[in-house]
Amino acid sequence: MIVFEKVSKIYPPDSAALQDISFHITEGEFVSLVGKSGAGKSTLLELFLREKFPSVGTVFFQGENVHQIPDSRLPEFRRKVGVVFQDYKLLPHKTAYENIAYVMEVMGAREQDIVRDVSEVLEIVGLLERAHHYPAQLSGGERQRVAIARALIHRPDVICADEPTGNLDPYHTRDIIGLLVKINELGTTIILATHNKEVINRLGKRVITLDEGRMVRDEERGKFMI
């Protein structure tokens, strides 16, 4: 489903963010990317999301070179990939419902479809009763649930979560990771970038470890070992 083939990202004059990265992720996997700050986790995600281009190598998604997708088809590609950030990136003057509905409005969805789908994803993340609350009225964990619901709204094949628990306490961290596991069990591929040792060790799922831009470990049921 996702393939990195000998990928490097070099910033001038000679700073290597990623060096010779190769791996593949199959449909329905839950894969964690771990490493210290600056190890290359975010750069790897940015390359997959086509926010950056590799200096060397190729990134494939569903058999297609991500960086050769024409601009006219980029919206189609981005509908297949949901993204969850550490800082939520919610619109402060829109309610939880409106933050999610806005994505569908931009896509030109019909009102009846918006009402149906937004209610459905809010129920999945357990926030139906908080639908009309603004971000400032929600806890950190609830805001991250809204962000996950927003990532889910276009029924993506993959969700990339970049340090989604970085601003959360241990209770809400377990809550959000449990939600990502639930979404994965429903069939969505999850790529989780994190430096949270407890999260990784409790998950017991595949772990790809980066160190100074190099992939140093790829284990099926990995632990946090840096």
Q: Is residue 111 part of a domain?
A: yes
Q: How far apart are CA 104 and CA 107, in angstroms?
A: 5
CATH number, domain with residue 140: 3.40.50.300
Q: d(Cα 201, Cα 218) in Å, to the nearest integer? A: 14
pLDDT greater than 90 at residue 91: yes
CA-to-CA dists, residue 89 to 47, 92, 140, 150, angstroms: 20, 9, 12, 10
Instruction: Establish if 59 belongs to a structural domain.
Output: no
State how far Cα 202 lies from the chain centre. Answer: 19
Question: Is there a domain that residue 6 lies in?
Answer: no
Q: Would you give the DSSP letter of residue 137?
A: G
Indicate whether 206 belongs to any domain.
yes
CA distance readout (Å), 27 to 8, 14, 93: 24, 35, 36
Q: Are 63 and 71 in contact (CB under 8 A)?
A: no
Structural tokens at position 192: 């989780």
Mean pLDDT, to the nearest integer, of 24-48?
95
Tell me if 60 is assigned to some domain.
no
Has residue 83 been placed in a domain?
yes
Q: Domain count of the chain? A: 1
Q: Band of the pLDDT at 226, cuts 50, 70, 90?
A: low
Give the mean pLDDT of 74-98.
Answer: 94
How many Cβ atoms sit within 10 Å of the Cβ of residue 199?
Answer: 21
Query: Given this model, what pLDDT does residue 46 score?
Result: 96
Find the mean pLDDT for residues 34-45.
92
Domain housing 155: 28-39+71-219
pLDDT tens digits, residue range 177-220?
999 999 999 999 999 999 888 899 999 999 999 999 999 999 99
9 within some domain: no
> Taking the model in full, what pTM does it have?
0.93
198 belongs to a structural domain:
yes
> Does the pLDDT at position 223 exceed 80?
no
> What is the chain's mean pLDDT, rounded?
94
Mark out the alpha helices in 14-131 (DSSP H runs): 41-48, 74-79, 96-106, 111-124
Q: How many helices (H) and strands (E) does the chain have?
A: 7, 10
pLDDT higher than 90, residue 26 = yes
Specify the DSSP element, H or E, that contains 219. strand 214-219
User: Residue 195 has what pLDDT?
Assistant: 86
**Residues 98-107: pLDDT tens digits?**
999 999 998 8
